[in-house]
Structure 1
Amino acid sequence: GEHGMATLNITTSSVLVDAMLDRMRRAYRNKPDEDHRGMHKYMADTAAAVLLTGTCDAGWLDNIKAEVVVTMPATMLTGEETGQAELPAGTLVDDDTALMLAGSVSSWTRLFTHPVTGVAVTADVYAPTAALRRFIVHRDRTCRFPGCARIAKHADVDHTKDWQHGGKTTPDNLACLCRHHHTLKHRLGPDEGWKVRQLEPGVLEWTDPQGQIRTTEPPPAPNAVKEPALVSAARRGERALRE
């Protein structure tokens, strides 16, 4: 590349890539407060340090275990169905790898989906599925912090009630926050910073440090975005009738 830079590409199993990226992201989230490198810079530096020295600069990466989440129907385990396992990003996982990973865990995660739309509405895991994230992004449209107009597509999906305090990965406890306001919410905490609760799915009530209350609601979504799965199902039904 230009200015003495270069790019290293690694092509391997999507399962391994998912685990490596998860480990790098966890490393970034646990970096020292005095380290001001951005996420991509920090992840690249940490990966380079591991490849060159076998360890990272801080030495704590060895204590972080990567997590691979694979979604599959129960019928795959009984041999009734094949080719249905996937990573959270929607990448398909071959049956042998999926069954091997399923056999190596000591517990299972329940995932409940809407019977009509197929969108995952709750799960016993921290990270929302790709389908649930898309739903929250389309619903919120922008960062939900008062006065912020950054688009939701590039925002974080935050648990309104923290996961570690019993918050669930459900639409009525998830909202889009840009990285700045996501960090602000968690760094100050409800005792010294902003308090927030979700009055109903997508309607957030914020209380600032001075006690003033502000409510933010997602802008109205086009009809085609509100229920994309239902629209698709209707179109499939129309085609079937014509045929």
Structure 2
Amino acid sequence: MAPRSRTVSMEPPELGRTAGLAWARFAPDGAPWGSLLVLHGAGSRKESHYDFGRAARAAGLCALCFDARGHGESDGPMGAGVLDDLAAVAGELPRDVPLALRGSSMGGYLAIVAAAALGARAVVAICPAPADGLIVALRAGRFDFRADRPALEAFLAEHDDLQAAGAYEGGLLLLHAEGDESVPYQHSVALDAAAAGARPRRLLVIPGGHHRSIQHDAELQGEALRWLERALR
């Protein structure tokens, strides 16, 4: 069977704010078959993932990219209220269809630890950063976003991603570049092993690449969207 072709529209997203959090929503013309919350990495912002938002819209998903606190146009520093923030922006997505999360690096970590609380049916985590690695970077001052460091460090210490993966029973797709210079691909291997109850579950380690190479790879974006369609439907 030949793969379905989809036209990716360059029409701009709908912009809005919820609880001081800036977001951009990519809604398809017809009724969506799923909702997708897109979580960026440390020091990034929602615009960095507009390419995936457009691709998700073309595939029939309603996708929402947002600026985490301390980033982009959102108010205040990132701190202890991360899960409340994710719930607030997820509320701007259709609720009559299953929810999925797609996160990169720090966003991948947050997607994994927040999935159960948000009732997400599936998670796509790209080069997800480990909680302990995020704490080390935070203490070393390597992040350039605004943060309530004691509160954020406490959040990271209390929300272990390996434990969260072990308790998660939804779908989990892990993608990691073998050449990742920031987060070793072995962390995704460990997450995949921990997530024994996740269904469906898939790990893709891509030869070469670097920490950001997978996020904007059109072929891998398409693979993630096809996996989400199977997982959500």
Which of the two has higher C-alpha Rg? 1
Establish whether TM, by shorter chain, passes 0.5: no
TM bin, normalised by shorter chain, reads under 0.3
Q: Which one has the bigger strand percentage?
A: 2
Q: Which one has the bigger helix percentage?
A: 1
**TM-score, normalised to structure 2's length?**
0.21
**Highest RCO, 1 vs 2 (Cα 8 Å, sep ≥ 6):** 2
